[in-house]
Structure 1
Amino acid sequence: MTPDRLITLLHRHWAQTLAELDADARARLLRLVTALGDAVGRGPTLRAVRDVGRMLNRLPDHHPVAVALNDTVRYAGPDTGRDTVVDRARLVDLLGLLAGPPPTAEEVLDTTRQRLLRAPARGADAAPGAVTDAAADDLIRLHHPELGSRYPEFQFTPGTDEPRPVVREVNRLLLAGEDPWGAADWWLGDNEWLDGAPAALLDVVPDDLVLAAARALVEED
């Protein structure tokens, strides 16, 4: 795993990561992330990345960072020199968060919802027919405190108001009407089966594979 990829994962799931760690583990992670920020050169940087990765492998199996790091041998393979670039500005942010108290469950949930609301979305007025015709579980509807109902853009066939058939089918599996935030997090978060965010892989991987990944989640539950 490259430094930039690791830092992106940490930033995206930082609140959830801290919530899983006790005080000792947080202190150790602080030291390891500091070492990553101080590392100079390809070898020391990649070693620092692997040290942070080993630490995060202690997270529960379902944790999104743990899922991405669950194969340390694969991620420890050769990298090109350009992959050793470290986004030190992001690391400074992470170090500041590590020094504070662990987030509450409410703060973790709020962080997740803010991330999901930043994804491109449209209001009900932008696709009135599709929204009216859709069943409760067909489309994800998120509530924005200022903009009201928001429908994540990935749900629609580009250039149209028509919901993608595979999205409607997956949303029904995920019970999007009952848990729209959970369904949106599945679509917009990293997925082990697909090696990426399902929403970003629409039209890239076969619809059957996206559907299989969703069914695997439901069957696990």
Structure 2
Amino acid sequence: MNENDLSLLAGAAARWDLLARALPAATRESLARHLRATRSEPGSEARARAVAAAAGLLRPLLVREEGRLGAPPAASGFTLDDLAVLVLDGHRMVGPVLSAVRERLLAEPALDEAVVAARGGDPRLPALIRLPGPGGLRRLPLFQFEPEAADRVGATPRPRVLAVAVHLDVVDDPWGAADWWLSPNAWLGGVRPAALLGRADEARVDEAARCLNDPEGE
């Protein structure tokens, strides 16, 4: 695979805010089609062709806009995958720091919206965290739901999750809310809040959540 093409696409991701304004709708649709194909099996000919096509599509625009956009940082930390996330998945969890958080949270067990609905639940409840995965498909982290049986999770939200949502910016920052639930918490002695759900001491989650709005415990 051509490293220059990969570098060009990574640079496009690094300055996407400016580039997107100069991108005609038809060009953006073509770019999206090529980026979907870049998600083919690594090392495949289909992926290599898609990378070359996407780079060829953007190269003239980047050259034309170079004076306004400027050269991308020499070591920006952005990647081709980040550009695909921006264009296809519709969120901004990209770059050298946020992409790692994105990958970690999307690797957690989750249910698709359609699965929640099929099990009789409401995947659109405002208090539930919905993370956009590949293609923008919303994924609801599994910890939010009550276990239905020993080997299956149902679609009934845990009451504690709904109660704590008032302290989290679930709608506007679902990534931040998910990260809070799924990261070690200093107020809980390094335990992830999600790990306390269903335990006798799960009420400790309330105190940790309140500290988000009152960090000094006043």
Q: Return the TM-score normalized by structure 1.
A: 0.49
Greater strand proportion: 2
Higher relative CO (Cα under 8 Å, sequence separation at least 6) belongs to 1
Higher-Rg member (1/2): 2
Q: Return the TM-score normalized by structure 2.
A: 0.50
